[in-house]
């Protein structure tokens, strides 16, 4: 959980709500962000996961929850929610102490969904506080739902109910959904959806949203042929990885009007090539954009699906992964030529089998990657493999594993946080 320190609930309705005034802005924290998708598999929100270094070390620090809460609020105010969330909502886990504290008042009510942890006691004090927060404009969610005393008085205040599929027997889901539909208007979110089959089951039961990485674990059909535009993109990638032949690149674009249009729009975007360009030929567009930028654009296009559903979600995930790996590579290796570019490429191609529905080995053979890069993607070998493993544990919000990996790589939680913020801002922009 994001904030997982257990504290005693206040015992009296007359007891004042505690105020946190300690400045912990310099404390080291870990940040995670997991997508929440709607039924069309478009990202509608993120769950924000935070963990302080003290939590990871399991230090017995009095009032550590409030210290961690302050770190969260200070960090949110420092880097801005737009940088992390884009235009999406943010779900934030809250314990009883956080819910009752004035610290929560500092959060933007229109951007944050307060996710009430399963161990929060449902008492008159908690219900009164939830009423106050609703009046302030906050949306509320119940985390890891399992019916208990007090829920009946809370249901009318709840906007979302999250059901964890790893702890809820799947055969009980129909009855749970039927019950919740009778007692609340809240939207139902299936949590820890890691397989396509589970998504399909929950969709049939009428869940409104889903959290998990099921979209990155499809069934891969041996021998399924890539779509024509995907084949072209792989050929362009192959050309860009070697000695660029402008005539061949030009021909590949000329044979694909859709790609050509996208190329011209990209080059005419503000900031490309020093501002808006007056482009008179495909060759000029390729030259103005440059080999590196063109390669990155083509890699991202591989994940763009015609309907913008799963493709858009995958594009966001892979853009985050690739950029994170690139920035970490720059931090840990200042000398090896093109190392950060290789890291970006490994991250970008690590999910290519998902969108192409073709075994990853076949995809990589088509492109012609080096052995080091192939082994990093397929076997997690070498420093590039370590970077890929690191990016994956960060995606899943596995903070203990993240701490071990950054120690191996020789970076600090502060370094990682800075890199993540830059990564999120870049990915939000590039996938628009």
> 25 pLDDT exceeds 70?
no
Q: Convert the pLDDT of each residue in 347-376 to its tens digit.
A: 989 988 887 778 888 888 877 788 999 999
Q: Find, among 415, 410, 399, the residue nearest to 68 by Cα.
A: 399
* pLDDT given for residue 171 in this prediction: 94
Domain membership of residue 89 as a residue range: 29-216
Q: State whether residue 184 is helix, strand or coil.
A: coil
CB of 84 closer than 8 Å to CB of 46: yes
* pLDDT given for residue 259 in this prediction: 80
Q: Rounded CA gap, 160 and 155, in Å?
A: 10
Q: Count CB neighbours of 432 within 10 A.
A: 7
DSSP state of 73: H
Q: Decide which of 60 and 222 is more confident.
A: 222
- Boundary residue ending a domain (216, 240, 263): 216
Count of domains in the chain? 2
Q: Rounded CA gap, 392 and 354, in Å?
A: 15
- Boundary residue ending a domain (155, 188, 216): 216
CB of 393 closer than 8 Å to CB of 328: no
Q: Same domain for 123 and 247?
A: no
User: Within the chain, how many helices (H) and strands (E) appear?
Assistant: 21, 8
* pLDDT given for residue 4 in this prediction: 34
Q: Same domain for 153 and 256?
A: no
Q: Decide which of 399 and 380 is more confident.
A: 380
CB of 225 closer than 8 Å to CB of 254: no
Q: State whether residue 232 is helix, strand or coil.
A: helix
Q: Report the CATH number that the domain containing residue 120 is assigned in CATH.
A: 3.20.20.450
* pLDDT given for residue 229 in this prediction: 74
Buried b (16+ CB within 10 A) or exposed e, 103-130: bbeebebebbbbbbbeebebbebbeebb
Pseudo-torsion of CA 88, 218, 355, 348, nearest 10°? 70
Q: Decide which of 334 and 391 is more confident.
A: 391
Q: Find, among 339, 342, 366, 343, the residue nearest to 353 by Cα.
A: 366
* pLDDT given for residue 18 in this prediction: 38
State what percent of residues in the chain have pLDDT above 90.
34
Judged by average pLDDT, the poorest of 267-281, 295-309, 318-332 is 267-281
Q: Same domain for 171 and 271?
A: no
Would you state the structure tokens that stand for residue 235, as one six-digit string? 């050929």
């Amino acid at each position: 959980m994001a904030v997982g320190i257990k504290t005693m609930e206040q015992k009296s309705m007359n007891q004042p709500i505690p105020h946190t005034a300690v400045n912990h802005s310099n404390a080291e924290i870990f940040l995670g962000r997991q997508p929440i998708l709607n039924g069309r598999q478009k990202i509608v929100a993120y769950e924000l996961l935070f963990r302080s270094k003290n939590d990871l070390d399991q230090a017995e620090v009095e009032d550590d929850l409030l210290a961690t809460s302050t770190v969260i609020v200070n960090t949110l105010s420092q880097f801005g929610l737009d940088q992390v969330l884009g235009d999406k909502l943010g779900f934030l886990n809250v314990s009883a102490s956080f819910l009752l504290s004035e610290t929560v008042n500092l959060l933007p009510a229109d951007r944050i969904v307060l996710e009430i942890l399963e161990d929060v006691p449902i008492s008159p004090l908690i219900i009164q506080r939830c009423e106050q927060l609703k009046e302030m404009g906050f949306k509320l969610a119940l985390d890891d739902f399992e019916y208990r005393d007090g829920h009946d008085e809370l249901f009318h205040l709840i906007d979302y109910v999250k059901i964890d599929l790893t702890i809820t027997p799947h055969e009980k889901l129909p009855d749970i959904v039927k019950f919740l539909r009778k007692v609340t208007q809240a939207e139902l979110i299936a949590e820890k959806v890691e397989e396509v089959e589970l998504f399909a089951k929950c969709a049939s039961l009428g869940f409104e949203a889903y959290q998990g990485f099921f979209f990155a674990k499809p069934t891969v059909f041996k021998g399924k042929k890539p779509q024509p535009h995907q084949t072209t993109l792989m050929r362009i990638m192959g050309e860009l990885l070697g000695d660029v032949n402008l005539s061949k690149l030009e021909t590949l674009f000329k044979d694909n009007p859709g790609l050509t249009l996208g190329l011209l729009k990209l080059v005419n975007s503000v900031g490309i090539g020093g501002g808006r360009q007056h482009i008179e030929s495909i060759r000029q567009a390729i030259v103005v954009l440059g080999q590196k930028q063109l390669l990155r654009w083509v890699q991202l296009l591989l994940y763009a699906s015609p309907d913008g559903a799963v493709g858009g979600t995958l594009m966001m995930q892979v853009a985050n992964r690739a950029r994170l790996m690139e920035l970490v590579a720059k931090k840990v290796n200042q000398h090896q030529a093109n190392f950060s570019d290789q890291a970006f490429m490994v991250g970008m191609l690590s999910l290519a089998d998902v969108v192409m529905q073709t075994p990853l080995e076949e995809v990589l053979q088509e492109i012609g990657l080096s052995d080091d890069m192939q082994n990093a993607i397929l076997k997690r070998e070498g420093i590039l493999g370590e970077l890929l493993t690191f990016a994956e544990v960060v995606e899943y919000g596995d903070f203990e594993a993240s701490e071990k990996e950054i120690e191996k790589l020789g970076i600090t939680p502060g370094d990682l946080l800075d890199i993540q913020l830059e990564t999120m801002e870049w990915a939000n922009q590039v996938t628009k």
